Homo-oligomer: A and B are copies of this chain.
Amino acid sequence: MIHDSVDSAKKGSTCPSQANNDMAARQKQEEAAIKASLSKIKHKIFVLSGKGGVGKSSVSANLAAALSKKGYKTGLMDVDVHGPSIAQMFGMTELLDISEKQLLLPKKINENLKVVSVQALMQDKDQAIIWRGPAKTGMIKQFVSSVDWGELDFLIIDAPPGTGDEPLTVVQTIPEALGVVVTTPQEVALADIRKSISFCKTVHLKTLGIVENMAGFRCPHCNEPIELFSSGGGEKTAKAQGLTFLGSLPFDTRVVESGDKGSPLMFKEEDTEFTKAFDKIVENIIKQL
């Protein structure tokens, strides 16, 4: 059923003259399924970024891991059609199971954490999804309606960077979601993040605040501080835009390694500068809810 619908989403169309009763009925059914599924989830957090490569997926994965460690029932959904990284970050290789109701069953990572990725719908994980906008919109809606999350305290949604079809579809499908904006400190990234904030305002997405990523770094040999991508830009932008600054995360090569190895750093028990900074961000998010 799911692959059938993905096929029909591929044929996606925006032409009103092609709409027929069948499609309208199907859309209604899909919307009802989305509403039913989302009604069992207390908080939906939508992790956004203006440009790619700022660590949006890494922040999403570690946020989900941290919340689950605190005892919250947490779901993590990757809707990045072109570059889904979440499956890799949790070492998900097998296909997902399907429930009796023909819904996708997310992968259980631990007692409190379930993860699902659009990757699960792709037969060859190295194949490019060369779909134009309308097809992607159809696929994301279909995907959101097809997952059996059960009861959750938090659903973390990792969407592609930018302000195009995919984030727009997520906001329209899950209008009660709260935004967390991730950036790195350099001006070229900040220019894009101002676009993301303009996006949030235009589509009326309530924003919890800004996370600055890859800000500080210490040489693992001599322990001297190195500014890889400059610093302080996240806090400055938050102030200028009247948004909460959720905190600054240092660059840590172990975040890259742990992402490649399939287990986010926030699962580890040891205290590092990164995990301490991340815990503060989680607190700053929770106290706003």
- Give the interface of A toward B (CB within 8 A): 13-18, 50-54, 57, 81-83, 85, 88-89, 125-134, 136-137, 160-165, 168, 184, 186-188, 191-192, 194-199, 202-203, 219-222, 224, 226-230, 251, 253, 256-257, 259-260
How far apart are A255's CB and chain B's nearest CB, in angstroms? 10
Residue among A130, A137, A191, A253 with max Cβ neighbours from chain B (10 Å): A130
Docked complex Cα distance between A52 and B85 (Å): 12
B-side contacts of A126, CB under 8 Å? 191, 194-195, 197-198
Q: Please give the count of copies of this chain that the complex contains.
A: 2
Bound-state Cα–Cα, A188 to B258, Å: 11
A226 to B218, CA, bound (A): 11
Q: Which of B136, B197, B253 meets A226, CB within 8 Å?
A: B253
**A15-B16, A199-B130 given; A192·B161 CB < 8 A:** no
**CB <8 Å contact, A195 and B128:** yes
- CB of B164 within 8 A of CB of A131, answer yes
The answer to whether B82 touches A188 (Cβ under 8 A) is: no
